[in-house]
Amino acid sequence: MYAIIKSGGKQAKVSPGDVIEVELLHTTEENVSFIPILVVDAEGSTISDKDALAKASVTAKVLGDVKGPKIDIFKYKNKTGYRRRMGHRQKYTSLEVTGIDLPGGAKKTKKSEPVKAPVAETTEAPVEASSEEE
């Protein structure tokens, strides 16, 4: 079972037990909850109905705040003496997904199976490889 959640303008695919990093959440709570955009259950059927997903939730435990990798920024213009040097480290919140809760009466849609193209039958006999022995 997995779900797609939205946090900080980005989407993430999560399963119970996953540890993810999302944009910094200014929260002092120990647990946070998200409303999923899409849920796929263990049988492979998807739930994408907005009314059913409004009742569903994805809960996660806040592990702490972390910093991303350092990004160096250097601006330079030729022959003018213009040069600027900066750096940036994005701040993230580390989360451990503890569970995906679905409502009891959620509508499930069947997993779509790929459509198989019909095989064209040929009326010609198969061509056999001829050996030239002289």
pLDDT at position 109 is: 40
Q: 127 lies in a domain?
A: no
Residues of the chain falling short of pLDDT 50: 105-112, 134
Q: 49 lies in a domain?
A: yes
**Is 51 in contact with 7 (CB distance < 8 Å)?**
no
Task: Please name every residue paired with 60 in a beta bridge, in sequence order, or none if there are none.
Answer: 32, 97
Task: Please name every residue paired with 66 in a beta bridge, in sequence order, or none if there are none.
Answer: 92
**Is 94 in contact with 23 (CB distance < 8 Å)?**
no
- The pTM assigned to this predicted structure is 0.69
Q: 90 lies in a domain?
A: yes
Task: Please name every residue paired with 23 in a beta bridge, in sequence order, or none if there are none.
Answer: 92
Q: 125 lies in a domain?
A: no
pLDDT at position 107 is: 44
Q: 116 lies in a domain?
A: no
Q: How many domains does the chain have?
A: 1
CA dihedral sign, ordered 43, 47, 52, 53: positive
Domain that holds residue 67: 2-101
Structure tokens at 19: 């540890």
- Distance between CA atoms of 46 and 106, rounded to whole angstroms? 10
Q: 48 lies in a domain?
A: yes
Q: How many residues comprise the chain?
A: 134
Q: 128 lies in a domain?
A: no
Give the number of other Cβ atoms within 10 Å of residue 85's Cβ. 9
Q: 17 lies in a domain?
A: yes
